[in-house]
């Protein structure tokens, strides 16, 4: 988005002013207004849609000039919405973390970086795992891997093992109309289910991306620049990555990551040390267990 804004400022806005009979210095546009156009009215990786929105702005200015109306000296975000109408895309926001099992991940899509929420919920059952949110095979495998590793670490995390046999786990990725795949949500899934089983708070304004292995290692993933810029747009101030992604972070201009802290985690234990707070959520889910667990039926996975 930063690159798109700079292209718009230096090239697209002056071009549209000229094409609509306005002087290049007649009406300026603030950086915040350009960000508003890019964030709320476009979702592509290129700039064609951005240029179309800027053309709509300048057409409005040209009509006002022809009607002898006074033009603003500079276009600000409030003027953008007056002209372009309600935002076409909801601005990314960090999710409320007062509920256990809710974690913010980072995704790399065809239109750039985006944030990705992971929600986990336990309900009375027989240990079934349900996955929903239009997931691809790789993401399903990440969820199964994360749950298997969590089960192996139950004692260290203070999780009563009977929970795995007496409760079903549902992992959901909102925005079910959008296909999702890839291994990069691994540590976000692990953190989400760890929070659900322990009812511990997830650190707010935090996001993460990284693949998880069955031995609990955190592996690097791609699209780091796009993901980090999406996190900054969403108000995230702490991001967890694999140390092997450090070189990708170092290639991003420092001003693009102002106010964002990066934590590197070799293992998922390191992730939880940062991501999970010792306190329980304000309204923890009651998870009573029976003294005798029902006979295990074996692992069961359901995909919706």
Catalytic residue ranges: 184, 227
For the record, the structure tokens of 117 come out as 């929420």
The residues, ordered by sequence, that sit 6+ positions from 271 with a Cβ below 8 Å of its Cβ are: 187, 190, 191, 208, 210, 218, 240, 265
Angstrom distance (rounded) from CA 76 to CA 22: 18
Contact call for residues 186 and 142 (beta carbons, < 8 A): yes
Q: How far is CA 243 from CA 19, 209, 224, 248, 267, in A?
A: 48, 12, 12, 10, 10
């Amino acid at each position: 988005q930063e690159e798109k804004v700079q292209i718009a400022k230096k090239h697209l806005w002056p071009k549209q002013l000229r094409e609509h009979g306005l002087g290049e210095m007649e009406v300026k546009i603030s950086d915040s207004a350009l960000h508003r156009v890019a964030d709320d009215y476009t979702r592509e990786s290129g700039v064609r849609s951005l240029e179309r929105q800027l053309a709509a702005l300048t057409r409005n200015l040209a009509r006002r000039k022809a009607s002898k109306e006074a033009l603003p000296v500079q276009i600000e975000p409030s003027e953008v919405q007056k002209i372009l109408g309600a935002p076409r895309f909801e601005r990314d926001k960090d999710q409320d973390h007062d509920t256990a099992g809710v974690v913010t991940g980072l995704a790399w899509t065809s239109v750039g970086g985006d944030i990705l929420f992971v929600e986990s919920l336990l309900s009375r059952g027989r240990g079934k795992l349900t996955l929903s949110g239009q997931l691809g095979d790789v993401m399903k495998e990440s969820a199964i891997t994360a749950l298997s590793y969590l089960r192996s670490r139950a004692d260290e995390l203070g999780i009563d093992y009977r929970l795995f046999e007496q409760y079903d786990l549902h992992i959901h990725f909102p925005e079910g109309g959008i296909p999702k795949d890839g291994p990069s949500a691994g540590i976000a899934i692990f953190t989400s289910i760890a929070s659900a089983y322990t009812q511990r708070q997830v650190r707010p304004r935090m996001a993460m991306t990284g693949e998880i292995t069955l031995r609990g290692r955190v592996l690097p993933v791609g699209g780091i620049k796009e993901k980090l810029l999406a996190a900054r747009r969403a108000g995230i101030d702490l991001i967890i990555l694999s140390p092997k992604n450090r070189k990708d972070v170092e290639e991003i201009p420092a001003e693009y990551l102002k106010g964002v802290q990066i934590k590197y985690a070799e293992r998922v234990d390191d992730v939880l040390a940062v991501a999970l707070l010792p306190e329980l959520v304000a309204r923890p889910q009651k998870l009573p267990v029976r003294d005798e667990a029902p006979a295990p039926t074996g692992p069961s996975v359901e995909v919706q």
